[in-house]
């Protein structure tokens, strides 16, 4: 049996590397597993049914490789499939939306908060739900930004074009006098410098940073869970396609050496050992 003693992170592509970067800072030495589903990126433009199916498979893969905790490094999955993952796996599943929401409420002074994310994340209204549940008086403004995730991964446009795209997406929110902006996709911190130059007075919220801090606090409280995690300063990276692009983006996001990336075919890896995720068209809980 595989020993489940690692922190697992998955994302539709490479955006979750921003979370890995913060985990290196806040939980140095812990063993990590990262899976980027680069063969099926982007998730944000797909249906809820498809996103949920991918999320179940991504989580199952991390568990098959020894994850003891799984962090959803994808706002789209957190918005659409978080509850499903919690209901269907017995390990702790942590989302990335709620940590950012709490920090946004702490930072805002005028109660006007902006959100940028994928189309699926914005459509889910998950941020609005949490914000209004914690603080009913807050005013929330959101805008989908479908070009930003692929732009962060490819990095092949001029600074002028990037600035123009950011202004197109952000100006409608800024006109509503927001003072705080949640970067509702783990790709978006790649553009923090550009956004700060355009709108220096905005409080920018990186949910990945907050999620890493929250996990540290959880492990400080739960000594039993913490004792089960291995701390050999080892990180494994898996992708479902385009490892060369992953390596290039990795070095833009993280100032640390990368020894190798493993390419996996989810169907081949999961099929021989999987318990069926679907039975009579319903999802069944997987005990691990």
pLDDT in tens, 20-50: 999 999 999 999 999 999 999 889 889 999 9
**Stretch 5-19: mean pLDDT:** 95
Q: Is the pLDDT of residue 288 over 80?
A: no
CB-hemisphere CA count at 13 Å for 147?
A: 13
Calculate the CA 99 to chain-centre distance. Answer: 11
End-to-end CA, the chain: 11
Instruction: Check residue 253 and give its pLDDT.
Output: 85
Q: Which of 9, 14, 74, 261 is labelled catalytic?
A: 74
pLDDT tier, 86 (very low <50, low <70, confident <90, very high otherwise): very high
Q: Is the pLDDT of residue 285 over 50?
A: no
Instruction: Check residue 255 and give its pLDDT.
Output: 87
Q: Is the pLDDT of residue 273 over 70?
A: no
pLDDT tier, 18 (very low <50, low <70, confident <90, very high otherwise): very high
Q: Is the pLDDT of residue 282 over 50?
A: no
Exposure string of 68-102, with b = 16+ CB inside 10 Å and e = fewer, is bbbbbbbbbbbbbbbebbeebbebbbbbbbbbbbb
233's CB contacts (< 8 A; 6+ apart) are 28, 29, 30, 31
Instruction: Check residue 272 and give its pLDDT.
Output: 58
CB-hemisphere CA count at 13 Å for 211?
A: 31
Active site residue 145: no
For domain 97-207, the CATH architecture is: 3-Layer(aba) Sandwich (3.40)
Beta strands 278-279 and 6-11 are unpaired
6-95+209-283 shares its CATH topology with 97-207: yes
Distance between CA 27 and CA 207 in Å, rounded? 16
Beta bridge pairs of residue 32: 7, 235
Q: Which of 145, 185, 202, 249 is labelled catalytic?
A: 185
- Nearest alpha carbon to residue 39 among 237, 270, 263: 263
Structural domain spans, the chain: 6-95+209-283, 97-207
Q: 6-95+209-283 maps to which CATH number?
A: 3.40.50.1860
Active site residue 185: yes
């Amino acid at each position: 049996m595989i020993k489940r003693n690692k922190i697992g992170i998955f994302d539709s592509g490479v955006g979750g590397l921003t979370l890995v970067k913060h985990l290196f800072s806040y939980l140095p030495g812990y063993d990590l597993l990262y899976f980027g589903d680069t063969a099926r990126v982007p998730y944000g433009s797909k249906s809820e049914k498809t996103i949920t199916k991918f999320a179940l498979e991504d989580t199952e893969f991390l568990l098959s490789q020894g994850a003891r905790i799984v962090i959803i490094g994808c706002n789209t999955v957190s918005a659409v499939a978080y509850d499903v993952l919690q209901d269907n796996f017995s390990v702790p599943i942590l989302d990335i939306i709620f940590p950012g929401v709490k920090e946004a409420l702490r930072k805002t002074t005028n109660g006007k908060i902006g959100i940028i994310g994928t189309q699926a994340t914005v459509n889910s209204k998950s941020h609005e739900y949490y914000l209004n549940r914690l603080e009913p008086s807050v005013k929330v403004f959101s805008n989908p930004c479908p070009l930003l995730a692929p732009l962060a991964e490819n990095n092949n446009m001029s600074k002028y074009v990037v600035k123009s795209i950011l202004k197109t997406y952000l100006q409608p929110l800024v006109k509503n006098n927001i003072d705080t902006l949640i970067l509702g996709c783990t790709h978006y911190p790649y553009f923090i410098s550009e956004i700060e130059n355009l709108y220096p007075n905005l409080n920018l919220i990186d949910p990945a940073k907050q999620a890493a801090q929250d996990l540290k606090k959880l492990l400080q409280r739960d000594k039993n869970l913490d004792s089960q995690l291995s701390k050999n300063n080892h990180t494994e990276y898996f992708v479902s396609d385009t490892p060369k692009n992953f390596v290039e983006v990795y070095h833009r996001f993280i100032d640390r050496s990368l020894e190798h990336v493993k390419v996996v075919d989810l169907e081949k890896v999961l099929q021989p050992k999987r318990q069926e995720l679907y039975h009579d068209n319903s999802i069944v809980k997987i005990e691990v």
